[in-house]
Structure 1
């Protein structure tokens, strides 16, 4: 993929675009545009880092309401093992040394770098059966009759995230031996002898107020995207009261205690229909609930919501009644029906994308068990509500605007087992 034309692009648009391209030329372009970024260094003491790979929240910034803010730039690297058979201890040492290089180079924060590596069912089929008595890691499948997604059937997925475009690009280059040092730290080992990087499955994205609106020159991104919205569909997300805690998403027993499971759905979004077919009030009803419209809870992009989406127990209980009497139910309202003892099951870390030059979302969630993601997805689908709308017609949240292309399920082990884990470490 060639570098984008700088003409007519804002600095943020250009940096997002070069992250999507990746590689040495993109890194050079990023440095030429931005200069060398002053990034806080990491640590030589691995024990000072969290034992959980997915322990990001305490290291990330928060907004004015105290909601965790994800880093601005994201890269998902699909990896396939070079050699057949089970990895050796030497292979594991190489992977661990490579990952430790990043931790020595960059502070564990959004100003530096946070990352995870997770492993697919295909990986455990290759290296030895997973200890399923404590971790269930099913193959990804279609979850509605409207989708036929491609499965993530490679071996591993590495998620890199930082507020700085240069950091995610240089980290990726360091992992595959394409730079000699990273933020002043020598690259003593890399992943190139262990993993092949699948460039056709490389995925990128971004989160942040105003970033979606920067992409109205992309096909399928209408001018109506609100200027300050952090997500393409126009509303804030990631409210802390609607997110599972990292503790809730963590495996609590067995050989992978301290790890988590990860699901990734890559999807297109039909934004033009979303913004041109519906009024702002209709979009609020479909995203949240009809009562959000009645009570004017949301505002333009969700600025009236602070730490919660406003989906209360009463609004959840009213879902079937709203379908029957009002002909519309909200996305958040439906999904919240899967809460357990009033608590969310998923910790979402998804981000916008224009991969393939079209608007979309890489939906990434962490949860104790993949079954919990499936439960939430089924609640959000709302098949039990179909046909119950006024005159048999139901405006069923945002279903008609999203189209899932890929699904992947992963085990994200604790940090101590992240380097090519065996199926049963015990």
Structure 2
């Protein structure tokens, strides 16, 4: 970053800094606005939840009680730096690093949220092939590359400076954060891949000059995501209790699925009408009854998938030639409740409009069940709805990568054994 960035609006500047990463980007952020005044975390780590994925109580909420995701996010994919299996001394070193992060910044969207998960490839180092399933293609029309890195750290904060500083500290570029001495992970882990993004009102509109979005700059200013509508309604999300592993060696943890999805929104904005977008994102009934205003804030804490949508999916496919994304996804509920908790965010990685779909669930099978419902393959075989066309929002996205991870409880998060 250079003097030419001085005239760049703050939101655009901070997003660009996170995407670039590294010490130069962090220095530019600090030069631009300094480090935010954020309280330190607790000196006693026992005051923090045992669940790494317990983020909800630390997030802001909107007027309807929906959790509001942190604006800046980084997925840091790592490989174990050693040969064979980790040692106890490496586990202690890694835990020391994570605890130093927790002491540096309070656990909050206004501070720092993070979790670390481990892949089937990591557990394969121990000869354990049954800890969690390997990633795979989840639709007949996709051919994703499969992530086989050993681990992934998910950082999130409303402050770009904090996610950048945390990443730098974990790899030896900083030895102090917010007045706290920190240690890094570089002796145990090597960086393999880095993915970045953002979510929140105004951010997608400010970053729509990328491949996959028309030159007309159609993304609404009030939208938190590229497709123009909000997501993460409280009643459309599984609870943290529902996604927590209830028994076994990793009880108190969860599983995480991470997808990289490329968006193709030219037809979405240039050819589809507003009613068609509402029908494909939610349900044809929502479009007919004009239920959705703007990005959908008027819906409150639910996408309003009642029986008129859920019970009539096949009828809508046959008679209206279109079904909605939320309408299909609702079929994967158990006891009338969703089974996955979404923590996804938009991205401009590679100069392309994208979505990093991060979901946590008790079992990877829960995610696969939800994805199967989203595919609508049975609808395509029994109506004029195509396998992708008019079948929710499938035609507007391409899944490029998939990865599965186990997110252990905090006490087991540092280079865990398969049977701790």
Report the TM-score, using the length of structure 1 for normalisation. Answer: 0.95
Higher mean displacement: 384-393 or 255-264: 384-393
Distance 1:3 1:407 in 2: 35
- Assess if the C-alpha contact under 8 Å between 1:266 and 1:362 holds in 2: yes
Name the counterpart of 2:171: 176
2:95 equivalent in structure 1: 96
User: What is the rounded CA distance, in whole Å, between the counterparts of 2:257 and 2:237 in structure 1?
Assistant: 15
1:231 Cα deviation after fit = 0.4
Residue 320 of structure 1 pairs with residue 314 of structure 2: yes
What is the deviation of 1:392? 7.4
1:421 aligns with 2:416: yes
Describe how 1:32-181 pairs up with structure 2 within 5 A: 32-129=31-128, 132=130, 137-181=132-176
Distance (Å, rounded) in 2 between the aligned partners of 1:64 and 1:391: 37
Matched residue SS, 1:314: helix
Separation of aligned partners in 2, 1:202 and 1:4 = 26
In the superposition, relative to structure 1, how do residues 47 and 341 fare at CA in structure 2: closer, same or farther (>3 Å)? same
Greater mean deviation of Cα atoms: 141-150 or 382-391: 382-391
Q: Superposition pairs for residues 323-402 of structure 1, below 5 Å?
A: 323-390=317-384, 395-402=390-397
Residue 7 of structure 1: how far off its partner (Å):
6.2
| SS at 1:202 equivalent | strand
In the alignment, the residues of structure 2 paired with residue 50 and residue 245 of structure 1 have an alpha-carbon distance, to the nearest angstrom, of 15
- Of 198, 203, 209 in structure 2, the residue corresponding to residue 211 of structure 1 is 203
Counterpart-to-counterpart distance in 1, 2:66 and 2:408: 26
After superposing on structure 2, the runs of 4+ consecutive aligned residues of structure 1 that deviate more than 2 Å are 2-5, 216-222, 387-394
**Counterparts of 2:415 and 2:393 in 1: how far apart (Å)?**
38
Question: Secondary structure at 1:396's aligned position in 2?
Answer: coil
Deviations 1:281-325 (A, max 9, x none): 000000000000112111121122100011113311100000000
The answer to whether the aligner puts 1:225 opposite 2:224 as a matched pair is no
RMSD between superposed Cα atoms in Å: 1.5
5+ long unaligned stretches in structure 1: none
| Separation in 1, partners of 2:386, 2:83 | 54
Q: CA deviation at 1:216?
A: 2.7
> How far off its partner does 1:370 sit?
0.3
Aligned residue for 2:228, secondary structure, equals: coil
Query: 1 CA distance for matches of 2:386 and 2:54?
Result: 45
Note closer, same or farther for the CA distance 1:392–1:375 as it changes in structure 2 (3 Å cut): closer
- Distance in 1 between residues matched to 2:158 and 2:343, nearest whole Å: 14
Q: Distance in 1 between matches of 2:386 and 2:257?
A: 33
Pairwise CA distance, 1:391 = 8.6
Q: CA deviation at 1:138?
A: 0.9
Residue 8 of structure 1: how far off its partner (Å): 5.6
Q: CA deviation at 1:220?
A: 2.9
3-state DSSP of counterpart to 2:299: coil
**1:15 is aligned to 2:9:** no
CA distance in 2, matches of 1:195, 1:211: 32
In 1, distance between residues paired with 2:202 and 2:99? 34
Question: Which residue of structure 1 lines up, in the alignment, with residue 190 of structure 2?
Answer: 196
Corresponding residue of 2:298: 304
Q: Per-residue deviation at 1:271?
A: 1.5
CA distance in 1, matches of 2:3, 2:272: 33
Residue 79 of structure 1 aligns to a residue whose secondary structure is strand
Residue in 2 aligned with 1:256? Answer: 250
Change (3 A) 1:4 1:126: farther
Task: Quote how far apart the aligned CAs of 1:367 are.
Answer: 0.3
Could you tell me how far apart the structure 1 residues matched to 2:140 and 2:284 are?
A: 26
Determine if contact 1:4/1:14 at 8 Å carries over to the other structure: no
Label 1:205 to 1:392 Cα distance change in 2 as closer, same or farther (>3 A).
Answer: closer
- How far apart are the structure 2 equivalents of 1:338 and 1:391? 20
Q: Deviations over 1:205-261 (max 9, x none)?
A: 001001100013223333111111000000010000000000000000011000000
1:128–1:422 contact (8 Å) kept in structure 2: no
In 1, Cα distance between equivalents of 2:74 and 2:26: 14
